[in-house]
Chain A
Amino acid sequence: MDVFLLQLLNGLDKGGAYALIALGLTLIFGTLGVVNFAHGALFMLGAFCAVSFNKLITLQKIIIDPTKTTAWGTPLEVRTPYAEAMFGDFGQWLVNYSVPVSIVLAIPVMLIIGFVMERGLIKHFYNRPHADQILVTFGLAIVLQEVIKTLFGANPIPQSAPDAVRGAADIGAMLGFQAGAIVYPWWRMVYLLFSAAIIAGVFAFLQFTTFGMVVRAGMADRETVGLLGINIERRFTIVFAIAAVVAGLAGVMYTPILPPDYHIGMEFLVLSFVVVVVGGMGSLPGAVAAGFLLGILQSFASMNEVKDVLPGIDQIIIYLVAVVILLVRPRGLMGRRGVMEN
């Protein structure tokens, strides 16, 4: 039971990341009809918002203190981040909380990126074949990836979670299991809650606002909504920007879990596409459900007990599920008829 619970929790946070990316992919696909292979790059850009923010506030002022020497006999260099020198305790706090605080930076940045991407590129591909959309966004993903590589180098850049949530929680002990049976890092818990909140936010937005209603109508029947004289194109831009923000935030918050490098996005993209297909192309609840489901399945498949029976299953479980689903239920778990079937 405790093992089961642990794996469930382990699967949930990764599932959260899949769900967030898949949600954006589905939104874009459902409304704009575009297959966005650059969506993983948006996740990656989000992660690098966190990295840049951290770099920015930890820019250091170096003072040489002639009165003291190091163990090697050279004058001691005292390094203080500017943020700390300028803002004192607040600066220290800022450094400590740089990952969650960088959300404030990431939101406008991702909005702008999303806006520029849609207006500058995607909109010209609404009526092109899906193969062209895949190819051009794939090209864009390479470009974004390479730009980040040039700016930040090829190595992963670890980010740390705030001190307060740095350790791990012994959830097992809290729930009355043996101490140490279920140890779950606090930050992953934060991530799980965060992704749940974002997903809830997106759904609420779509459910309760007029804008959201139009978007949902657009997903159900694009032509009719267009015929009603609703300016669907402007809304497309906004939807795309929202999806970019969602992917970006998913990336920001994931940095303490996995140090980001320039190709982190591609890895997530491939899996998220599989998630979208499993969930059912064009179905938002399907994307979310499949995201969590596959995250959990992956986590269970990586248990030693399972791997002993089926070696390597943890590596391929997601793809295997996708293959089976596509063959048994071609429209995915919650897919509708007639989406991308011609």
Chain B
Amino acid sequence: MSATPTPTRDLLMFVVFAAAVLTMPMWLAPIGAGYPDLLQKFAIYGLFATGFNLLFGLTGYLSFGHAAFLGVGSYTAVWTFKLLGMNPIPAAIMAIAASGIFAVAIGFVSLRRSGIYFSILTLAFAQMSYNLAYSVLTPITNGETGLRVLRSDPRLFDAAGQGDGPLVSTLFGIEMSGYPGFYFCAVLLIIGFFIAQRIFRSPFGTMLRAVKSNQNRMNYTGLNPRPYTLAAFVISGMYAGLAGALLCITDPLAGAERMQWTASGEVVLMTILGGMGTLLGPILGAGLIKYFENIFSAFNEQTLHRIFGFLPDFLETPVVAITSLFVGEGWQLTLGVLFMLIVIFLPGGIMEGFSRIGRMFRRSSGAKGSHQTAPAE
């Protein structure tokens, strides 16, 4: 990245992004991803990864405990449903507030250290939350069963409303399942993207990149890095909390496994797969991973035989046998391999790959000073 894009280009990017998100049901249908459940997941995890990227991509602080905020968001949302009613908006607001407060507490402690120590501190806090949610906090979290909305809950504002049928949140009479559920999440993703874009281009965003680049110089420039990193941590925790709440709007169930550290690892993966520090990358990464999860894990040997049917038999059988390791139950293997390949060959993620291809086409224009970090002299 050399010069920052002009406001016009940013606006264009935003409009194209918004249009792309809202038309996803159409253009993703040909690759088998055009159904609302999956699209909703794209939007939710895109939001999660966008928030994570505000911390990791800009400041370079690698949190291994972000799933804790996802969990807090989910629990808060379900409690809001239980107490206030099934409207998703108060649930989202409460989830953002709760995860924000939680992030202030964790961030205040964790950010006193940096580097791998920070990663391990955040991991420790997330594991602590996870373990507590399973044990002592059972009255709040309902332990292993998970927290769900019951018909006997008070639901202050709409208790009289619903008789029977499954419990889903409703926004002004529209049930948040199927396409309405997706569009609700999509709109929030677009808003989240817009905010992230503003932060990226703002003085605050520049300061966050300064934290990543050289904290020593920052100190000697009269800036205090800690409130900057804390603010980034809290904002990204709020994004995670919102994502957690959205996970509950169609299926109002919150479980502790959402806080497990594998879930934290997943968002790291999404971010680096797409390209940390870029605006679109994490959303792309989140989409790809959720796509793999949903589509690839549904593959079985029959589908593979159909795909490789054109091969002669003596080739088809081994090819199917090998590829079947990577699909269906084995999709996580694919994920792990992909993870390694990306870190090894393309540390900048897919966005970096795009810009490399772009540069190949624009060789003649003499690209100056691409990616160089401060040399250690």
Contacts and interface: CB of A to CB of B under 8 A. Distances in A.
Contacts of B325: 150
A135 B112 CA distance: 23
B124 A274 contact: yes
Interface string B102-126: 0000000100110111011101110
Interface stretch (B39-47, B166-174, B231-239, B338-346): B338-346
A99 interface: no
Contact of B124 (A150, A266, A312, A323): A323
A139 interface: yes
A63 B168 CA distance: 59
Contacts of B272: 135
B297 interface: no
B131 A136 contact: no
B124 A322 contact: yes
B333 A340 contact: no
A71 interface: no
Interface centre among A145, A146, A311, by most B CB within 10 Å?
A: A146
Contacts of B187: none
A337 interface: no
Contacts, number: 111
A319 B136 contact: no
A330 B113 contact: yes
A196 to B, nearest CB: 27
Contacts of B337: 139, 143
B340 A312 contact: no
B131 A315 contact: yes
Interface stretch (A124-132, A155-163, A177-185): A124-132
Interface string A299-326: 0000000000001100110011011001
A238 interface: no
Nearest to B127: A319
A341 interface: yes
Contacts of B335: 142
A50 B115 CA distance: 37
A135 B127 contact: no
Chain B interface secondary structure, helix, strand, loop or mixed? Answer: helix
A222 to B, nearest CB: 15
Interface string A271-287: 00110010001000000
A191 to B, nearest CB: 24
Contacts of A213: none
Interface stretch (B12-20, B23-31, B260-268): B260-268
Q: How large is the interface on B (under 10, 10 to 19, 20 to 34, 35 or more residues)?
A: 35 or more
Interface in B278-325: 325
Contact of B333 (A124, A146, A311, A327): A146
Chain A interface secondary structure, helix, strand, loop or mixed? Answer: helix
Interface string B193-234: 000000000000000000000000000000000000000000
A315 B132 contact: yes
B131 A131 contact: no
Interface in A96-153: 121, 124, 128, 130-132, 134-136, 138-143, 145-147, 149-150
Given A131-B62, A323-B125, A136 B340 contact: yes
B128 A320 contact: yes
A300 B272 CA distance: 41
B34 interface: no
B333 A143 contact: yes
B347 interface: yes
B178 interface: no
Contact of A135 (B115, B125, B329, B343): B343
B340 A340 contact: no
Contacts of A316: 127-128, 131-132
B67 to A, nearest CB: 13
Nearest to A138: B265
A35 to B, nearest CB: 6
Interface centre among A140, A270, A319, by most B CB within 10 Å?
A: A319
19 contacts: A135-B268, A138-B268, A139-B269, A139-B340, A141-B336, A142-B339, A143-B336, A143-B337, A149-B329, A150-B330, A270-B123, A273-B123, A277-B117, A311-B136, A315-B132, A316-B131, A322-B121, A323-B109, A323-B124
Interface of B: 60, 62, 109, 112-113, 115-117, 119-121, 123-125, 127-128, 131-132, 134-137, 261-262, 265, 268-269, 272, 325, 329-330, 332-333, 335-340, 343-344, 347
Interface of A: 35, 121, 124, 128, 130-132, 134-136, 138-143, 145-147, 149-150, 266, 270, 273-274, 277, 281, 311-312, 315-316, 319-320, 322-323, 326-327, 330, 340-342
Given A142-B336, A270-B127, A322-B121, 16 more contacts: A136-B340, A136-B344, A139-B269, A146-B336, A150-B325, A150-B329, A311-B136, A312-B131, A312-B132, A315-B132, A315-B134, A319-B125, A323-B121, A326-B117, A330-B113, A340-B117
